[in-house]
Structures are given as C-alpha cells and as structure tokens.
C-alpha cells in the first residue's frame, strides 16, 4: 500500500510542521505576534518582538520540526510500510513539514515563511547543500543586514547547490527547486519592500565608547 504510506507520512509531517512555535511562545508572553512587527510568526519577527533569547528558541524549534518530521516521522512510517522506499518517504515528510509551517491549520492556514523549518529538512536530506546556502545567507546578511535578501538568495541557490553536492540527482534537485521557489514566493512582500526601500534592516548594537 505505497499510496497509503505517503498519505500517512505527509499527514504526520504536516502536523509536526504546523505547530506554530512563534505564535505559542509569543502568546505565553502575552503578545499576539501576528499583530506586531511584520506580523509573521517566524523566527525573524520573534527576534524583533520578543528579543534574542526567545528568537533563538523559536528558530531552533522551527528547525527541529523539519528535522524530526524527516528523521523520525518518515522512519516510523517506513517501518510500518517497509515496501515503500525510505528516501521517498523522507522527501514527502520534508515537503509536508514545510507546508505545515507555511500554512498551519491552527492559524487559518497562515504561517511563516518556512526558512528555519526548511533548514531542518535540509539537514536531514541535503546537508552539504545546506552548508553552501547557509554560507550565502550569512555573507549577504552581514553585508546588507537584510534577513530577507540572505533568505531569498539562499533559496535561489538551493537547487544548484543540491545538483553539485548530490551527484546530479535530477529528482532531488527538482524537489529542492520547488522548496526554494516556495520560500521565494513567501517573501513576496519582502521583495516589494526591498524594491520600495522600506524593508527593515537588522541593527547591530554598538558598544558605547567609554569616556
């Protein structure tokens, strides 16, 4: 029953990915994160609204959702349905987890941009490609101080990094291209603000000089 195995995997992974970490953490702090900052429930807005400590927590938990969905969810389902290729179940779980975060059923299918959750998925599926695009993100973020520019560039580079690090695997590259495209589409408003010059930069605090 290969079709059933994919359905079960997708459902489990979607539910894992749909946990709205940023919303729940902010709610516990008495804040509806959807009404402040950029209104996004992801880690970037959590950093902006809740501070570094809670922002890091949201980032790690969102990434963990993707990682657990692939390494635990898909493997457990694979043991129930051993006739289905495990690698296919992992890819299914990864896609479903990202969709769960981006379109969470708990918040009227309005979620985050999926960058952290995608990173968790990529750790499990294409770790070397992740290292490449993470380097691109860090460099562009440090140079421009725009999280969005780093994220968009990393998403664009993902299929190319996958192609070169995964022995020219056409199928896996196509999947990563879809994931990258989804991430870029989720940044439509950021792209619009970048073009208009209204996108928020991250401000690095400088130590005050002692007299």
Question: CA-to-CA distance for 46 and 36, rounded, in angstroms?
Answer: 10
Question: For residue 145, is it within any domain?
Answer: yes
Compute the average pLDDT of residues 141-151: 96
Q: What is the pLDDT of residue 204?
A: 67
3 lies in the same domain as 100: yes
Determine the Cα–Cα distance for residues 175 and 161; give it in Å rounded to an integer: 12
Residue with tokens 């975060």: 101
Q: State how far the alpha carbon of 65 is from the alpha carbons of 119, 155, 187, 209, in Å.
A: 10, 19, 21, 42
Q: What value does the mean pLDDT of the chain take?
A: 94
pLDDT at 177: 98
> First vs last Cα of the chain: how many Å apart?
74
Q: Looking at the domain assignment, is residue 10 inside a domain?
A: yes
- Residue 154 makes CB contacts below 8 A (sequence gap 6+) with 115, 133, 134, 136, 137, 140
Q: How confident is the model at residue 146 (pLDDT cuts 50, 70, 90)?
A: very high
Identify whether residues 137 and 83 lie together within a single domain: no
Residue 177, classified by CB atoms within 10 Å of its CB into exposed (0-12), middle (13-18) or buried (19+), is middle
Which residue range(s) make up the domain with 152? Answer: 126-200
Instruction: With respect to residue 210, please indicate whether it lies within any of the assigned structural domains.
Output: no
Residue 114, CA distances (Å) to 98, 126, 162, 187 in order: 6, 16, 18, 10
Q: Is residue 66 part of a domain?
A: yes
Asked whether the predicted pLDDT for residue 206 surpasses 70, the reply is: no
Tally the domains of the chain.
2
Write the DSSP string, 150-192: HHHHHHHHHHHHHHHHTTT-HHHHHHHHHHHHHHHHTTHHHHH
Tell me, yes or no, whether 114 and 136 share the same domain. Answer: no
- Across the range 142-157, mean pLDDT stands at 97
Q: What's the pLDDT band for 203 if we cut at 50, 70, 90?
A: confident
With respect to residue 18, please indicate whether it lies within any of the assigned structural domains: yes
Specify if 64 maps to a domain. yes
Band of residue 2 on the pLDDT scale cut at 50, 70, 90 = confident
* One domain for residues 187 and 84: no
For residues 166 and 176, state if they share a domain: yes
Average pLDDT over every residue of 105-119: 96
Question: Domain ends where: 103, 125, 147?
Answer: 125
The closest alpha carbon to 130, from 93, 180, 64, belongs to 180
Could you tell me if 156 and 115 lie in one domain? no
Asked whether residue 99 carries a pLDDT value surpassing 50, the answer given is yes
**Claim to verify: residue 121 and residue 27 sit in the same structural domain:** yes
Among 73, 106, 125, where does a domain finish?
125
Judgement on whether residues 18 and 116 belong to the same structural domain of the protein = yes
Indicate the pLDDT class of residue 211, thresholds 50, 70 and 90.
Answer: very low
Do 55 and 118 belong together in one domain? yes
Residue 206 belongs to some domain of the structure: no
For range 152-169, the mean pLDDT? 97
- 28 with 90, same domain: the answer is yes
């Amino acid at each position: 029953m290969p079709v059933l195995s994919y359905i079960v995997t997708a459902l489990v992974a979607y539910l894992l990915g749909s946990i709205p970490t940023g919303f729940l953490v902010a709610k516990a702090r008495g804040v509806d994160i959807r009404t402040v900052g950029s209104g996004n429930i992801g880690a970037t807005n959590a950093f902006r609204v809740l501070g570094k400590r809670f922002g890091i927590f949201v980032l790690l938990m969102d990434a963990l959702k993707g990682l657990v969905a692939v390494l635990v969810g898909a493997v457990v389902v694979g043991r129930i349905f051993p006739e289905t290729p495990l690698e296919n179940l992992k890819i299914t779980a990864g896609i479903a987890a990202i969709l769960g975060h981006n379109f969470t059923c708990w918040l009227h299918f309005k979620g985050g941009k999926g960058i952290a959750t995608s990173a968790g998925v990529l750790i499990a599926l294409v770790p070397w490609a992740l290292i490449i695009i993470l380097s691109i993100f860090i460099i562009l973020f440090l140079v421009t101080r725009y999280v969005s520019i780093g994220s968009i560039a990393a998403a664009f580079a993902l299929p190319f990094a996958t192609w070169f690090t995964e022995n020219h695997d056409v199928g896996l590259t196509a999947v990563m291209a879809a994931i990258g495209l989804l991430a870029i589409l989720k940044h439509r408003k950021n792209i619009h603000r970048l073009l208009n010059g209204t996108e928020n930069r991250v401000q690095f605090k400088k130590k005050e000089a002692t007299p």
